Amino acid sequence: MMIRLGVVVAMSVLLVGPVEGGVKVKVTPSSLRQGDTGVLVVTGVPDARLIEGSVGERPLIFFPYADGYAALIGVDVAAPAGQTRWRVGWVDGTGNPRKAAGTLRIKSRKFPVQKLSLPGNMVDLDRATEQRADREAAQLNMLYGMVSGERLWRGHFTRPVASTGPGEGFGARRIINGKPRSPHSGLDYSAPTGTPVVAANRGRVALIGDFFFGGRTVAVDHGQGLYTLYMHLDRVQVVEGVLVERGETIGTVGSTGRATGPHLHWGAQLRRARVDPAGLLALPVRD
């Protein structure tokens, strides 16, 4: 049997087309930086039966969008800057495999340096506490690896707390008590204890924890490997397994766990990439 491969090669981001059969692949925003979330949209494949792809090592999960298909691209906060490969494959209406491929440029981003002083026992952990923190990190990491197939989120993402300032500190290189630590992978919103915290979009409450670092924590699974994370909560007002809507209260701001004062730490993970939640707020997907 002859298999005909239609190969589309694109050089850069605002891609191709119309190529063979009018297929177009477009990435928005056209320039992705460390920690960004982008959207890859494929159009001109009206009778595609299967569609899959990848950016770098990360598989893409497509959902029907407008008159084509879209998938979110998550660029980890510590992803190396430079060119990375993308690839999309599908089976066309006549049963033939087709593909498109190209490269994307990931730009480096300058992150702030934050110097913090914390009580010594919150930084230099005793053995039992270190084991606890490792266990909790493993638990979260396992959660992020679980990819539920259905996209639960819709339309725009909303800020999870009504605080005055913008969230701060994503990607900050942290120097705690004089020692460099891993980058800060969320946004911190200062707000008084008791301020309501809402789900940024529709999703399922996948985990509720009380962690050494994160304190009282809620993780919301938005489907297809996208999670948002709400930490240092004073109170949690949902239970595991429930579906929450965008804007629904899930708890209140607090300073539980390792926190220097009341604030919400809002994190986001997409297929294990630690992404800037601010990127979700700007996501150009509108359905």
Instruction: Pick the closer one to Zn ion by CB: 80 or 166.
Output: 166
Residues 167-186 that bind Zn ion (CB under 5 A): 186
Q: Is 274 an interacting residue with respect to Zn ion (CB under 5 A)?
A: no
Residues 196, 161 contacting (CB under 8 angstroms): yes
Q: Which residue type does 48 have? A: A
Token readout for 157 is 């993402």
Closest CB 137 distance from Zn ion, rounded Å: 15
DSSP, res 78? T
Q: Which residue type does 73 have? A: I
Instruction: Pick the closer one to Zn ion by CB: 10 or 273.
Output: 273
Q: Which residue type does 95 have? A: G
Q: Is 265 an interacting residue with respect to Zn ion (CB under 5 A)?
A: yes
Candidates 130, 120, 117; CA nearest to 213 is 130
Q: Is 276 an interacting residue with respect to Zn ion (CB under 5 A)?
A: no
Closest CB 279 distance from Zn ion, rounded Å: 16
Closest CB 192 distance from Zn ion, rounded Å: 17
Closest residue to Zn ion, judged by C-beta, is: 265
Interface with Zn ion by CB under 5 A: which range of 49-57, 61-69, 189-197, 264-272? 264-272
Candidates 250, 212, 256; CA nearest to 232 is 256
User: Judged by CB under 5 A, how many residues of this single chain contact Zn ion?
Assistant: 3
Q: Is 188 an interacting residue with respect to Zn ion (CB under 5 A)?
A: yes
Q: Please give the C-alpha separations between residue 253 and each of 111, 122, 214, 232, 281, in angstroms, as whole numbers.
A: 25, 20, 12, 7, 20
Candidates 114, 122, 120, 116; CA nearest to 213 is 122
Instruction: Pick the closer one to Zn ion by CB: 71 or 229.
Output: 229
Would you tell me which residues interact with Zn ion (CB under 5 A)? 186, 188, 265
